[in-house]
Amino acid sequence: MGVHIGIACAGLHAGVLIETLELTGTSAITLFDDAAGQEGSFRFGRTIAGTLADLDTWARDGRIQAAMIGTANVRRLDVRRRVHDQLRRLGLELAMAIHPTAFVSPSATIGGGSFVGPMAVVHTRSHVGRNVCIYSGSTVDHDNRIGDDVFLGPGVHAAGEVTIESGTYIGPGAIVTSGCRIGRDSIIGAGAVVLSDIPPRSVAFGTPAVVAKSVDDWIAGR
């Protein structure tokens, strides 16, 4: 009997996870979401069986053995981190979804709950934390350190010896040059070129990337 995976939050990213898991031979997948009125409905060909509280019950009953998180929107990264913490408290194994066309070096490590998309690369001696998304065509080159809860959009390229601290979002097509460090909980705009370190909780964009505001100002709409 295979592992039954519960996906917490039925956002668009959940559909990406389901397709990737199916391509790698996992078919026992059930969705859970807190949005009102969704219980019993279908999304991405799967039943939404209940709320995240119901996922707790299914886990305690042994009906689900592993979980992933099905939301990845930049404005819901706090939700993604909170649900990640909840799943870990439950003691659930965090499953991984690695697309068959991705390349992961045998000397690289990837934490539970992470997604590696089509044609993505995690190269030699790189360490990727838990609950990380590496989207289509992105490359994490040699000796990178990627923290927990990081999101790399499509076509992001991190050169050698890059550090991306936890909770950071990097938009599509951004480039992080060798040796740079991006501080935790930062947002890097699409197409940015990071040539120097970025402080924590910063919003940076442009070529070269410069800090435009704090994440707190961005959240407040300032």
Residues marked as catalytic = 142
- 194 half-sphere exposure, CB direction, 13 A CA radius: 34
* Token couple for 198: 């970025």
Length of the chain: 222
CA distance 215 to 219: 6
64 touches 49 (CB < 8 A): no
Distance (Å, whole) CA 110 – CA 144: 12
Phi-psi region of 54 (alpha: psi -120 to 50; beta: other; left: phi over 0): alpha
Record the tokens describing residue 146, joined without a space.
């990627």
